Amino acid sequence: MPELGARLAALALRPERPRFVLDCGRRRLDLGRTRLMGIVNVTPDSFFDGGRFFSPGLAVEQALRLAREGADIIDVGGESTRPGAGGAPAREEWRRVAPVIAGIRERSDVLVSIDTTKAEVARAALDAGADIVNDISGMTFDPAMRRLAARRGAAVVLMHIRGRPRTMQRRPAYRNVVEEILDRLCALAAAARAAGVAENRILIDPGIGFGKTPEHNLEILRRLEDFHSLGMPILVGVSRKSVVGAALGLGAQDRLEGSLAAAVLAARAGAHVLRVHDVEATRRAVCMAEAVWRGLSRNP
């Protein structure tokens, strides 16, 4: 793997960061400006909104509301991946998300992402109209996921995680957290390409909160620009997470302002997609920040 210093030197030589267009199969998403992925957890136990949208009808209405507020992608998940979560069988996971994806597709053309590590669930979701597979394992938990993504032409989010949700927060340790994550994401992307996933279908995610301490997470955010050295678009998910709670001493219900601050900082560092619970507030905060550093003519 190339050394971090060489990556950063190559980045410094570029006149500007590359502009990406994500191929999502039936559509393409221009990542020339910060895009928002709205979270819809159809679960009883997710850390922030578990149980709030467990009813398919409520989940569909929430998805449509987030789309109206400015979400470019709706991320639908049927299995909690919070620290300590034990998971759900594929059949149950699909039972939860199937009517939600169908309901969104009946009423909206918004891009839909399926948040799953199981190829069986991803396959059914793509059949039902999903456009993106968001896999917290980087397509490693299920060996069939890479082949599925390649065969179906799906866009994929490759996230970094150490361990599995049940055990990932048991004393996570790194020698150099950013360099080790960069190396791992580079390897995950190479494996995806080797399986046939086109490069313009890949997003990378450093995995805030997945096998990291609050200090690790803050270091990732502080050095987010380093991830441009991989030459792939970056997705960041900080919304309502424990790193915000650790910094502010607040529970998940009171972490909106901290989440907005982190979102603005990530956008300033060049994050292409922000995965958030609070779409309208995040859109306004990022648009205001972009008006400052880019000017009103560049503001959507």
Q: Which of 96, 184, 275, 283 is catalytic?
A: 275
Alpha helices in the chain (DSSP H): 4-13, 56-69, 90-107, 119-127, 144-152, 177-194, 214-222, 242-248, 256-268, 279-294
212, HSE (Cβ side, Cα atoms, 13 Å) = 27
Q: Which of 241, 268, 283, 284 is catalytic?
A: 241
Give the three-class secondary structure for 155: strand
Please provide the size of the chain in residues.
300
Question: Which amino acid is residue 87, in one-letter code?
Answer: G
Q: Judge whether 241 counts as a catalytic residue.
A: yes
CA nearest 233: which of 31, 12, 71?
31
Q: What number of other Cβ atoms are within 10 A of residue 293's Cβ?
A: 9
d(CA 74, CA 113): 6
Residues tagged active-site: 241, 275
